[in-house]
Each structure stands twice: as C-alpha cells, then as structure tokens.
Chains A and B, each alone.
Chain A
Amino acid sequence: MQGIGVSPGISIGKAYVLRQRKEVASGVVLSDDAAVLQEIAQYREAVKLSVEEVQELFDKVVEEERDILEVQLELLQDPQLESDVLARISSDKMTARDAVLVVVGLAIQLFEQMEDEYLKARAADVQDAGNRIVRHLSGSANALISSAGSTAGAGDEEPLIIIAEDLSPSDTIGMDRNKVLGFATQSGGKTSHVAIVARLRGLPAVVGCGGELDGIVDGDLVVLDGSHGLVFVNPTAAIVEEYRKKQEIFRQEIQRLEALKDQPAVTTDGVRIELLANIATAEDMDRALAFGAEGVGLLRTEMLFMERDSFPTEDEQVRYYKTILLRAGNRMVTIRTLDIGGDKPLPYFELPEEDNPFLGYRAIRICLDRKDIFLTQLRAILRASVFGNCRIMLPMISGVQEVRQARSCLEEAKEELLRSGVSFDTTIKMGIMIEVPSAAVIADLLAKEADFFSIGTNDLCQYVLAADRMNKQIKDLYDPFHPAVLRLIRYVIEQGHLQGIPVGMCGELAGDPQATSLLLGMGLREFSMNAPAIPAIKDILLRSSETAARKNFQL
C-alpha cells in the first residue's frame, strides 16, 4: 500500500500493532460542591504530575525533540484549557476526567477542520496533552510510553515495525531505538511527530497509509520503504528478496558516509581541508562531532542572549562557553561575539526603530558603542579560554578602525583579568567575518589587522547584490554564484593568504555541494557548515583534485 515516505530507508520485520485505548466519558454527575472541589484538586494534581513527567523526558531527547516537549508543557498548563475544564467541572458537574475528555475533544475537532496541513497535525499535540492528563486522572501509569519498545520486545527480543493509527510524541519520544525497526501510521503527514522523530533517529517511516493498515495483525511480515512511502504486508519471497538487496545498498551508502566520519578531508592530490560546524548550543557540539566536524567555524552566541529577561551575567556566559569548549575537546571553537540588531532583537534591550535594520545599529556596531556589553562578553570568553581551544570572531566589520577598537577592548578585558589574577589564554586570536562588501574590498588592509578571516556568504551576498534574501519577489536576484560575489570571495581568500592568515567560510555556500569544487579552486581551506552537510562535502573533497579545481574556475 502507498503512504507518504517521511523518513528514508528500508525495514523488513514483524509488525507490532499499537492500539490506542479509546477513552470514553463516564457521564457521572457530581453530587455536591465538595465533590466539585475534590475533582478540581484532582485535575490540578494530574496536570502537575503530567508536567513533571514531560520535564523528565527533557534530558533524554535531542534538541529538535525538545521543541515538541516544549509545546506539550505549554499545552498541559494552558490557561484556556484550564478555565474550560474548571467550568465543566463546576457548572456542568462533570468529573475531572470527563471534563478533560470533552474540552480536549472539542479542541481536536477544531484543529481537524483546519485546511492547513501543519495546523491539522497539531490536533495530535492537543490529544497527547489530553491523554496524559486523563491517564493521571484514571490513576493508570503511563502504559504506552517508554514501554512501546519493551512491550513490543516482551518475550520476543527481535526488533519490530510499529503499526499504529497515529503516534503521539509520548509514544515516539523515549521509545527504545534498538527495539524498533520503523513506523507505519494510518494518519499523519510530513510534519507529524512520528516523521520528525523517525528522521532524527534514522528509522524509516511511512505515514498517511489510510485504513488499509487496519488489516495488519501482530507478527505479520512487513516491508517498509520509507524512501518511497511503500508498505508491503506478507509480501512474496521475490519482493522480500528485492527489498533485502535495496536495504543492503542503502545501508552501504550510509556506512560509506559514516566511514568518512573519522577520515580527514584530503583531496586526491594531497591538499588537507578542514571541515567545521556552525553551532549554537552544547547539544549542537555533540551532534557536530557525531558528523565528523573537526572543530567549530561559527558559534552563534545569540542563543545565550535570547529568550530571557536580561543580559546574561559574565558567570553565566563563562559556563556556556566552558561547556562547549569542554565538549569540543581540544578542537578549535570560533566564538562569534554578539550579533544582534534590528532584525534580531532582544526582548530586554531597547533598540531604536530603524528603516533599514540590516544597514543599521547591529552586531559589532552595538558592541563598540555599548562597551559594557562587549567587555563582559570578552572577559567571559577569555575566562573560558583555559578550558579548551578557542578564538574570537567579530561580525559585521566594515573597516579597519572597528578592528582596532575591538582589539583595544580585548586588551582592556585582558588587563582587567590580569589585575584580578584570573588566568586566560594570552595568545587568543581575534579574527573577523567578511560579510560587508567594504570589508571584502579592503581585505588586503584588514588582513594586516585580523588574525583570521571567515567569509559570511549570506550577508555578503545580499549586501553585494542589494537583494534581501527573505524577499520572495526578488529571490532570483539573491544568487551566491553571481560573479560579483565570487570575485569578492576569491579576492578575500587571496589577500588573506598573501598576509599568511587562515581564511574560512561559514555561510551557507560552504555547505553547498555545488560550490565545493569552486571554493577549493579559489584556495579555501576551511569550510564551516551545519553538521549534517559535512559527510557529503567530505565525500566530494575526497574525490576532487585541488590542481584540477584551480584550473577549472575562471571568473
């Protein structure tokens, strides 16, 4: 049968059919006010237990799954849900359990009627939150959650393919990966949870298979093709054989890329290229290493400043940098100083309304104006520098003066620390991002001021071409392969190397397989990208010749 393939790969195995118990309202009418108060207390207790349960899951999951849990937490404690439930209990004299079932049922109906596929899929979030509360009200422990894997494995240790009408975040998050081969569900789309979780865990999944899936019983042989959205139930030996071969080919491809993980990126003619990751959190650091990153070409420190009520203190910042540096081992971590501004506001830091936020008060411009903010960050980086190997990168540099000013700030921060007897890496490097056209044009002058360059192609491209990359109407104009952009990139690399400083790239172009050979030919030696792109870029580099790449490009 045909569904929607949402996570690639092939699984062959026995089916485990997960049937959700359908909760039905009891219809009990509460006798008096004492009963009402008791039900309200029970509801509050059930919400509290549910929240604790979700919070416990937080430590076990990867970052993307955390977003799902974040929504769960919000829904469990939703004031509208609460006031609707309380109204049902006190006015309609329903039990807490019935009240939750009715209120959640109405909300689900509303979501299911929506046209937008994404919002429709949110019915599952609401259902999940409701189920969790109801489970606590019924006093039954979480039967399905983490046991899905173990129930499936009970008495039968071979891993199974999970078949279900739909899977909630609770069903999928925390499921034992070793006991699950893949997922097939009746409903759902590309944005459903099972799709997200399956992709994160590298398990094949097919969703939206429809009612035909009902025919499957426990133990049926199932072939799952998550790449093409196909599900075969008790197929012929020929089909099984065919898919075993396909599975093997898929596995080899994955293995080939995985085998590259610890292999250095060296071209066929012996040129060593460094592949680095762009990260924002300590979790990203772990993920980057898993993909074989040799270091960090861009640590976006904004994450530390966002989603809070005030600037992080120096100590808080030190902890954040330290955690990442420790996880990086002795690998180089490039810490970009605060890159905020009109387009990336902080809720607690008032910025003037600007007609052109991209050309306005932002990034290094704010830091050099508000030295208190900048010095705090520099001191924090310096203090953390003893825990690993890091360097400082300045965003939005447009001229020589800014680099000199930033350097004097760094010296000031160093002196302050020296005076208070705090140790730091005295040889710490300070480099700059080349993302403003003026900086690219005077790369020869800046190379004398900075310890390294990192080309930020996203902003560089939009500034050079005067084309906002967010504006759909002019999306064709935003072209990183425009000769004007490429000439500047080549010039920056060339001038950096003439002065003997390292030149890297941390924009999207660095992770674009179509640009790899071109950039190699221009002399780029440090490519920094989102971690999942690393294996594919390494694969290209391993098969490329630097000499040939150099000959091939003409501008």
Chain B
Amino acid sequence: MITREFTILAPEGMHARPATALVKLTRKFQSAILLKKGATEVKMNSLLNIMSMGVKAGDAIKVSVEGVDEADAAEALDIFFKQGLKDW
C-alpha cells in the first residue's frame, strides 16, 4: 500500500470539475483508492464521496492506494494533486 499526503491549494477547494476528473482518473486503475480527511475515509471512485468530504483550500488530505497498479496510480494522483488542480 502506498500513502500520500497533499494540501489542497486551489482557492475553490475540491469543486465539482476537479472532483469529476479525479473520479475518472481513479477509475483507470484497478487499485483500491481511499481518500482521507481528518477521521473520515472514503472510496475515491465516487463523486458523491469526494464532494461529501467538503475539501476546501488549505485542507490536508491523505490518499492511500492498494493493488496491482498502485505505483502507477500513486504517481498519477501525485501529478493530479500537485499540478492539475490549478488549471481547473
């Protein structure tokens, strides 16, 4: 299992567009991907789950990936969170 921590920098937080993109990205991998903020942890293949976390700018989140393609998935998520959100 690989875990990564990110801080959300986009001023609008995790709004519908990046959340939708994130769900689509998650679906490309076989690994189980979980999103954790505070004490709550949810599966990241669901837009409902991601939006219900209420991730705002400045929030710290933890992502854990487990499965055959976990290395690739972790890297893709790394790129998404570090760079992708800015453009959304």
CB of B46 within 8 A of CB of A111, answer no
Contacts of B47 in A (CB 8 A): 71, 74-75, 78
Interface membership of B42, Cβ < 8 A? yes
Contacts of B79 in A (CB 8 A): 345, 347
Q: Determine the distance from Cα of A309 to Cα of B17 in the docked complex, in whole angstroms.
A: 18
Nearest chain A CB to B69 CB, angstrom units: 14
Q: Determine the distance from Cα of A527 to Cα of B46 in the docked complex, in whole angstroms.
A: 43
CB within 8 A of A122: which of B16, B17, B45, B46?
Answer: B16
CB of A74 within 8 A of CB of B20, answer yes
Residue of A with least CB distance to B56: A116
Contacts of B16 in A (CB 8 A): 67, 71, 122, 125
CB within 8 A of A74: which of B15, B23, B42, B87?
Answer: B23
Give chain B interface residues in 50-79, CB to chain A under 8 Å: 51-52, 54, 56, 76, 79
CB of B20 within 8 A of CB of A70, answer yes
User: How many contacts A-B (CB < 8 Å)?
Assistant: 64
Contacts of B56 in A (CB 8 A): 116
Nearest chain A CB to B63 CB, angstrom units: 16
With A70-B20, A345-B83 as given contacts, are A79 and B15 in contact (CB-CB < 8 Å)?
no
Interface membership of A307, Cβ < 8 A? yes
CB 8 Å contact bits of A94-123 with B (1 = contact, 0 = none) = 000000000000010011001110110010
Interface membership of A342, Cβ < 8 A? yes
Interface membership of A503, Cβ < 8 A? no
CB within 8 A of A75: which of B13, B45, B48, B87?
Answer: B48
Contacts of A472 in B (CB 8 A): 11
Q: How many residues of B contact A (CB 8 A)?
A: 29
Nearest chain A CB to B3 CB, angstrom units: 19
CB within 8 A of B48: which of A70, A81, A347?
Answer: A81
Interface membership of B21, Cβ < 8 A? yes
Q: Which of B16, B28, B49 counts the most A-chain CB atoms under 10 A from its CB?
A: B16
CB of A80 within 8 A of CB of B83, answer no
Give chain B interface residues in 3-56, CB to chain A under 8 Å: 11-13, 15-17, 20-21, 23-25, 28, 42-43, 45-49, 51-52, 54, 56
With A71-B20, A80-B42 as given contacts, are A107 and B52 in contact (CB-CB < 8 Å)?
yes
Residue of B with least CB distance to A68: B16
CB of B48 within 8 A of CB of A345, answer no
Interface membership of A343, Cβ < 8 A? yes
Contacts of B24 in A (CB 8 A): 307
CB of B54 within 8 A of CB of A343, answer no
Contacts of A78 in B (CB 8 A): 46-48
Nearest chain A CB to B73 CB, angstrom units: 11
Chain A interface size, as a band, is 20 to 34
Nearest chain B CB to A90 CB, angstrom units: 19
Residue of B with least CB distance to A70: B20
Contacts of A483 in B (CB 8 A): none
CB within 8 A of A309: which of B20, B21, B28?
Answer: B28
Nearest chain A CB to B8 CB, angstrom units: 12
Chain A interface SS verdict (over half): helix
Nearest chain B CB to A51 CB, angstrom units: 14
CB of A126 within 8 A of CB of B48, answer yes
Nearest chain B CB to A82 CB, angstrom units: 9
CB within 8 A of B17: which of A67, A116, A343?
Answer: A67
Give chain A interface residues in 453-495, CB to chain B under 8 Å: 470, 472
Residue of A with least CB distance to B49: A80
Residue of A with least CB distance to B55: A119
CB of A470 within 8 A of CB of B21, answer no
Q: Determine the distance from Cα of A122 to Cα of B54 in the docked complex, in whole angstroms.
A: 10
With A71-B20, A118-B15, A119-B54 as given contacts, are A470 and B86 in contact (CB-CB < 8 Å)?
yes
Interface membership of A344, Cβ < 8 A? yes
With A80-B42, A307-B21 as given contacts, are A347 and B76 in contact (CB-CB < 8 Å)?
yes
Contacts of A114 in B (CB 8 A): 54
CB within 8 A of A347: which of B17, B25, B42?
Answer: B25
Residue of A with least CB distance to B10: A470
CB of B51 within 8 A of CB of A119, answer yes
Q: Determine the distance from Cα of A119 to Cα of B17 in the docked complex, in whole angstroms.
A: 12
With A111-B52, A307-B21, A347-B76 as given contacts, are A116 and B13 in contact (CB-CB < 8 Å)?
yes
With A71-B47, A307-B21 as given contacts, are A110 and B52 in contact (CB-CB < 8 Å)?
yes
Contacts of B15 in A (CB 8 A): 118
Contacts of A74 in B (CB 8 A): 20, 23, 47
CB of A344 within 8 A of CB of B87, answer yes
Residues of chain B whose beta carbon lies under 8 Å from any beta carbon of chain A: 11-13, 15-17, 20-21, 23-25, 28, 42-43, 45-49, 51-52, 54, 56, 76, 79, 83-84, 86-87
* 20 extra interface residue pairs, beta carbon distance < 8 Å, beyond A119-B51, A342-B83: A67-B17, A75-B47, A78-B48, A79-B43, A79-B46, A80-B48, A81-B46, A107-B52, A110-B52, A111-B51, A116-B13, A118-B12, A118-B13, A118-B15, A122-B51, A126-B48, A309-B28, A343-B83, A347-B28, A357-B83
In the assembled complex, 6 residue pairs joining A and B whose CB atoms fall closer than 8 Å, in A order, are: A74-B20, A75-B48, A78-B48, A110-B52, A115-B54, A118-B13
Which 7 A/B pairs are nearest by Cβ-Cβ distance? A80-B46, A74-B47, A78-B48, A71-B16, A80-B49, A114-B54, A78-B46
